[in-house]
Amino acid sequence: AVKRLWPEVKLAIGPSIKEGWYYDMDAPFAFTPEHMTEIEAEMRKICKEKLKLERFELPREEAIKFMEEKGEPYKVELIQDLPEDAPISFYKQGEFTDLCAGPHLDSTGRIKGNAIKLTACNAAYWRGDSNRQTLQRIYGIAFPKKEELDAYLERIEEAKRRDHRKLGKELGLFMLRDEGPGFPFFLPKGMVLKNTLIDYWRQVHKKYGYVEISTPVILNRKLWERSGHWDHYKQNMYTTVIDGEDYAIKPMNCPGGMLVYKSEPHSYRDLPLRVGELGLVHRHELSGALHGLFRVRCFTQDDAHLFCRPDQLKDEFLKVMDIIFIIFKALDFENFEAQISLRDKVNRDKYIGSEENWEKAESAIIEACQEKGLKAKIEYGEAAFYGPKLDFMVKDAIGRRWQLGTIQVDYNLPERFELEYTGEDNKKHRPVMIHRAPFGSMERFVAVLIEHTGGKFPLWLTPDQVSILPISEKFNDYAYEVKRQLEAEDLSVLVDGRNEKIGRKIRDTELKRIPYMLIVGEKEAENNEVSVRKQGEGDKGSMKIATFAENLNAEVEELLKEW
């Protein structure tokens, strides 16, 4: 369609992706929404023409000449970079021919024109190289039926309504500033949310026998060389020079945890040792990759490092899985998938450690999943450079999948740091290590939670549980007395004492996603009562202040009974 409308446009590459496809193009003008409308109209025409698609192959030199004659330099480069023995295939439909491995449908008539939508256009570098030509990337999607397209577009609109950047601003949770790109600011209500999650994290981990530490944010180069980060991760690290020596701001908490373990001798009786750390880490991300709280340069990782004997590894791995399941259930993330991330079968150079240790680590994860009855997809090439891992992808309220929670088995860092414990045989042995983070990044978890709930957080987690709405200003004093009594019962309460009509106050409170509204006027003040409204359910009747407080705390306890 683009080549029909603007023959001078040069085509680059256009793969299918998880949702639809994109095509990178080099155009002498910027594509606008008006251009998109024209392209869609032309695409619909092509569908109606029911053009047959024909596949053919050409020898390498003929293929290069063919694309040169068509004035497609990007296609020529792609052909030149193909392996010598690779088949070079093309697909032809009507007057249009494109380089493609295929396969394709047999006819453009298979596509319903009213089920096509171009969704976005943005900049992209040729072959992902920022030093090369900037292209324009047009995204699109198609479905067998218009009804499916309509449902998809509604889901996209719902995602926009749930956008954590939008809701984060509206609810006063966090802000992002040009003075610190990728470095988020948490506001008072956001800190209540974050700290409540952290308090919950601490209670769960205390129950499972964890201790907590804090390690320095900046450590010297020798440590990062020893851990392998300096050689394998330096492009993502912020570095500095102190007293003439190289230092790095930590991108991970692990090396500091190694030093804590090495600070005193350990016996086999001490293990397993479960050490948690809510560590602030920094990782350099390209500016184009930054996205709200989903991708930042500074975040709190809810890390823990477990040091155990080899015979304890599987049991400890299973207990970590239990912790992740408990946290997911408390936050209504019960719909999730698991992925076992193993080494690349071919390219082993990017990993550290012995073949034997890798095989033991990978087997431990697979066996633990089998014992738990957890169906996990295996992905090769997705392991960390120091060990395999089990990652969890949760499905949110509108069907999107997010990677949250990870468990990693590591034989290699204990080897590099020469960690030891004295065994029952009175000899020195090497512990095995488990890295794990149920939330992953606290910032990213908060972003997913905002979008999953649409800002309507569980009662135990929401920054403001109750809003008291006086019918008029003369009842403000009573409203603040109710607030005092509820806060004494450990509830989070605010008063809307504005000189506004009660209907306006109710609407504004609903927009703030506050779970409960208490309407107070003359009758309530006389009877020491409150008139209760619940978000999404409406009027719940009048009750005594003490009864309301008791009911709310009982509701919180019920929500968290799995603790």
Share of residues in the chain with pLDDT > 70 (%)? 99
Question: Confidence class of residue 526 from pLDDT cuts 50, 70 and 90?
Answer: very high
Residue 331 token pair: 């936050």
pLDDT score for 353: 78
Is a pLDDT exceeding 90 seen at residue 411?
no
Is a pLDDT exceeding 70 seen at residue 343?
yes
Average pLDDT for 529-547:
93
End-to-end Cα, the chain, rounded Å: 58
pLDDT score for 103: 92
Is a pLDDT exceeding 80 seen at residue 357?
yes
Q: How far is CA 537 from CA 242, 348, 479, 544, in A?
A: 59, 57, 22, 20
Average pLDDT for 168-176:
96
**Following DSSP, what letter does each residue of 54-77 receive, concatenated?**
EEEE--HHHHHHHHHHTT-HHHHH
Range scoring the smallest mean pLDDT among 33-37, 223-227, 334-338: 334-338
> Which residue from 61, 95, 91, 92 is spatially nearest to 79, judged by alpha carbons?
61
pLDDT score for 248: 96
Residues 6+ apart with CB under 8 A from 42: 1, 2, 4, 5
Average pLDDT for 426-442:
93
Distance CA 461, CA 189 (A): 11
Grouping H, G, I as helix, E, B as strand and the rest as coil, residue 143 is: coil
Residue 24 contacts residue 75 (beta carbons within 8 Å):
no
pLDDT score for 166: 96
Residue 528 contacts residue 497 (beta carbons within 8 Å):
no
pLDDT score for 144: 86
The strand order across the sheet containing 336-342 reads 211-212, 273-282, 298-308, 432-437, 401-410, 389-395, 336-342, 376-380
- What is the average pLDDT score of the chain? 93
Phi then psi for residue 116, to 5 deg, are: -110, 140
Average pLDDT for 526-554:
93
Average pLDDT for 39-59:
96
pLDDT score for 496: 95
Q: Which amino acid is at 545?
A: I
Distance CA 448, CA 181 (A): 20
Question: Confidence class of residue 329 from pLDDT cuts 50, 70 and 90?
Answer: confident
Question: Confidence class of residue 355 from pLDDT cuts 50, 70 and 90?
Answer: confident
Average pLDDT for 134-138:
96
Distance CA 48, CA 68 (A): 30
Beta bridge partners of 299: 281
Average pLDDT for 519-548:
94
pLDDT score for 359: 87
pLDDT one-digit tens code per residue, 239-273: 999 999 999 999 999 999 999 999 999 999 999 99
pLDDT score for 562: 52
Average pLDDT for 545-550:
95
Q: Which amino acid is at 69?
A: E
Tell me the Ramachandran region of residue 332: left when phi exceeds 0, alpha when psi lies from -120 to 50, beta otherwise.
left
Other Cβ atoms within 10 Å of 122 Cβ, number: 12
pLDDT one-digit tens code per residue, 184-218: 999 999 999 999 999 999 999 999 999 999 999 99
Distance CA 509, CA 449 (A): 20
Q: Are strands 211-212 and 273-282 parallel, antiparallel or unpaired?
A: parallel
Phi then psi for residue 208, to 5 deg, are: -95, 15
Range scoring the smallest mean pLDDT among 21-25, 182-186, 553-557: 553-557
Question: Confidence class of residue 332 from pLDDT cuts 50, 70 and 90?
Answer: confident
Catalytic residues, which ones? 254, 283, 301, 303, 305, 389, 435
pLDDT score for 461: 93
Question: Confidence class of residue 396 from pLDDT cuts 50, 70 and 90?
Answer: confident
Question: Confidence class of residue 45 from pLDDT cuts 50, 70 and 90?
Answer: very high
pLDDT score for 552: 94
Helix (H) or strand (E) run with residue 40 in it? helix 33-49
Average pLDDT for 122-127:
93
Range scoring the smallest mean pLDDT among 47-61, 148-162, 395-409, 465-479: 395-409
Question: Confidence class of residue 334 from pLDDT cuts 50, 70 and 90?
Answer: confident
pLDDT score for 384: 82
Is a pLDDT exceeding 60 seen at residue 563?
no
Is a pLDDT exceeding 90 seen at residue 560?
no
Beta bridge partners of 57: 89
Residues 6+ apart with CB under 8 A from 300: 194, 278, 279, 280, 281, 441, 442, 443
pLDDT score for 351: 82
